[in-house]
Structure 1
């Protein structure tokens, strides 16, 4: 069966855009990928789409690039304008369409079924930054109306507020959807009275079968008075779960089945985890309905959502049209995939924590904001990283190395340098009595030093020992030049303290730790390490330091002479 003329037109314009961009007849695979992204309803009709693409490209082969451009201008001039913008994408945030200073209202609307992740931070940061740009209002809205599949965590509400505070953002308003169900019911009754919503009693598979055939539910034309009574009975608990659903009337003949009479409320007799809500309600709005109502009530002017949620906007616009509301301006962005974490989801992480695979939501192996905060990633670095990513519909695959590189710019100038020896081996130094080494706290400021007492012995790392041989000369950084006497046991002979002598002799410089140092455990995303560090580390609680030749670490806990640090990055 041939595709609708509108779908054929969509395929043609994106094929032309590709041709103009690359000055060549497009490859079928490239056009197919684009169409599957912008027209999800065609994913079940790949053969017809493929045939249409073949017909269009066959025609294009008979034309010149100038003719392609002329056709694109006639068919979809906005796609030609889009090309000129996309050729050299600017870093940072582009202007909001139709935004007026002082009038912008934006929101970030998470489901609090776990703490924010690095992926969540994109919405947190970009929305709040836009509001700053336009002197507008920023709203944190908790979409917590699914007490079953995405059951909220009571702690997560505070976690979001805390992570926003860490990012330097104070929302102008915090809204919790589960506190506002009565408002949603009021709107539902309005739609029922307008005969734009009805209570459906079909079983799920029955309704799907009817919908797929473009056939109306048998309850669709029930009167407003009867539907009002049915909905009141739903609210009072008179129906069981899955027995009744309130649906929004749309176009039952719509080409996309997802648009046809979508569900707005369902019955869930599950208590909500918030004590103030508990078992107060048995009828819960689905996300498309709740979000649509809230965006109107909160006077949201601009929405940024994933391109995979474009159908949500189409569904919600039915409500806006029925009630005479103006829909917010929308922008879409592609998915962000963090290479190191694959497809970790909030629900998946939660299950793994409960199974004991992770120590908690701040385990250094996790992509939560709580975890990267504990590791020593700074808010300024995360903000800059996210803002420079910008807003675009292209899916993005990023590595944590990119975030680490940004963070390094912020921590390197301020992090104190500390000696830490992994897998320590004791070195006896003949001829070196009691002395005090005074290495700088930071290589850019030699005037500020710390003091490390040494009395004839130090620890060095086993890795350095493996490269030593009797007779070789090395420099113990900021302490002394020595000559190795033996490696088993490890004994060295003191030569002098001159850094110039070491440089002239091209001695290898290694770091070390005092024998009266502190025991350090470093917890990292890939492995845990242990060793000995200098005692100055005890003054660095909650600070990021650089363990020389090891990496940046945040000092997380101190218990006597035992230190726990979280590995930040190299």
Structure 2
């Protein structure tokens, strides 16, 4: 048990540092103050010192912010090896993809509806299917299920977006199929099913059929005979009927325990032209997804299907077609739903509506879960691939944070991202007795290189820092010199030397700054927009990820009229 009264301030700070370092090593990032406070406050005898501890936690986190991941682990090993061992002893849950049962060659498909660009959910399908086909030297097909010109109307740009994002993720399909190019093939199978008495044309209104279906009763058209159904089918194809006047149904078990399986609709009449010019108004009878997908999986020789467990009913419906046609159904695996905290339940249709209303700037808005947005923020494809593979194929629904993805990405970009100063919500500080000079700061703490920053007798500092400053306080402007605060409004300070050992001895704060003639910078992030000033040199980093010190990693998106950066992560 810790005796609170017996701990000196230095001893208390050491305890805080141990817990903070353990958290930093575990999650590969600077901890949140609340997480460290929680650990410390787990000792009831320390709670009376909560106010003191809050200040010390802030001091410790500022120290850890300046440390590299390697130095954090080394420091923890030196200060509290038992806490490091505790992390290593905790058994990690099994990650990765299980082996597949394969007899012969492997053929898999990823089948998106191109009614918007790929999302993180799409990335899972792309990565997992390509990982398996790569592992087993199989064939990967990208199939666009675009046979709904109304409810999930395709976007012409989305076809290319999917292929671009596949390549970015390291996935090159062996074949690309567009379902709307193959409508006659579906018509042929429909006719064969009718001839086998496995399908019929139904004229019941939707509510009438539902009432019959719910009572496990057949509709009056179910037994009208093959020849009549063939004639009615040809009438459907000849545009003899209005929308919703007739549908083609697959005969199943009308008394099936699941009403969703009972005589489901395979084709419906849609008079709205398809957005692809090559298709347009060529067809008025369109297959529903369960029919189109079933036929394509057979035509393409698909051996394994991986999809969400919410689509289990699709297999149950499709198996009726396979039974009538004498086909072997592919092996299926299902995964549970994944919900990412940061995005909630955003659907493609909801995003499209919000973009039209001006809520989002476009499909690559940093607040969105699209691959285009993730790419623009500076997430690397290797990190996203590993993140998706590590999710595995479990059927349990899971909720998770993007912190794991960020941790993977940080491992890749931290060793190569140059460092720069960016001051958001800037406040000008006048510095008495300072002489103009050129500050020399490292481009990277371990890789070397120097960036030179000309500075006069005024600098810009963050308003967040200003709000905590006190007159008389001594601190250091990072990589520049030491100052003492002489006034808050307006903000003034005086130069007190360059000896950094003085600051270390006094355990004074070190804050970052920017020159008053620096670059105008806007950072777009999921939390909103940050505006301020950054040092010159950032403009040379176009399309690269850099680290804005004490802020986070960003990707420099444009430098034409000032700098626009997209926030990557902490």
The bucket for the TM-score relative to the shorter chain is 0.7 to 0.9
Sort the Cα spacing of 1:347 and 1:237 in 2 relative to 1 into closer, same or farther, 3 A.
Answer: same
Q: Distance in 1 between matches of 2:252 and 2:114?
A: 31
Q: Distance in 2 between matches of 1:198 and 1:424?
A: 71
- Give runs of aligned pairs for residues 418-567 of structure 1, distance below 5 A: 418-445=420-447, 447-560=448-561, 562-567=562-567
Sort the Cα spacing of 1:99 and 1:409 in 2 relative to 1 into closer, same or farther, 3 A.
Answer: farther
Sort the Cα spacing of 1:216 and 1:507 in 2 relative to 1 into closer, same or farther, 3 A.
Answer: same
Equivalent of 2:144, from 136, 142, 145?
142
Q: Distance in 1 between matches of 2:97 and 2:474?
A: 55
Count of aligned residue pairs for this structure pair? 480
1:284 paired with 2:286, answer yes
Deviations 1:138-170, CA, capped at 9 Å, x for gaps: 111110101111111111111111111111111
Deviations 1:471-529, CA, capped at 9 Å, x for gaps: 32111111111222333333322232233332223221110111111011111111211
Counterpart position of 2:405: 403
Secondary structure at the counterpart of residue 535 of structure 1: coil
Counterpart position of 1:93: 97
Contact 1:375-1:553 within 8 A present in 2 as well:
yes
Counterpart position of 1:316: 318
Q: Which runs of 4+ in 1 moved over 4 A?
A: none
Counterpart position of 1:12: none
1:165 paired with 2:176, answer no
Secondary structure at the counterpart of residue 361 of structure 1: coil
Q: How far is the alpha carbon of 1:248 from its aligned partner?
A: 1.1
Q: How far is the alpha carbon of 1:89 from its aligned partner?
A: 5.4
Q: How far is the alpha carbon of 1:406 from its aligned partner?
A: 2.4
Q: How far is the alpha carbon of 1:115 from its aligned partner?
A: 0.8
Sort the Cα spacing of 1:254 and 1:487 in 2 relative to 1 into closer, same or farther, 3 A.
Answer: closer
- Give runs of aligned pairs for residues 248-397 of structure 1, distance below 5 A: 248-397=250-399
Q: Distance in 2 between matches of 1:484 and 1:528?
A: 30
Deviations 1:366-410, CA, capped at 9 Å, x for gaps: 111111111112211111111101111100111223322222222
Q: Distance in 1 between matches of 2:467 and 2:214?
A: 71
Q: How far is the alpha carbon of 1:432 from its aligned partner?
A: 2.6
Q: How far is the alpha carbon of 1:468 from its aligned partner?
A: 2.3
Contact 1:429-1:494 within 8 A present in 2 as well:
yes
Counterpart position of 1:109: 111
Q: Distance in 1 between matches of 2:166 and 2:517?
A: 41
TM-score (norm 1): 0.82
Q: Distance in 2 between matches of 1:324 and 1:135?
A: 28
TM-score (norm 2): 0.82
Deviations 1:550-569, CA, capped at 9 Å, x for gaps: 11111111124x11111122
Q: How far is the alpha carbon of 1:333 from its aligned partner?
A: 0.8
Counterpart position of 1:50: none
1:176 paired with 2:178, answer yes
Secondary structure at the counterpart of residue 364 of structure 2: coil
Q: How far is the alpha carbon of 1:199 from its aligned partner?
A: 1.0
Q: Distance in 1 between matches of 2:187 and 2:390?
A: 41
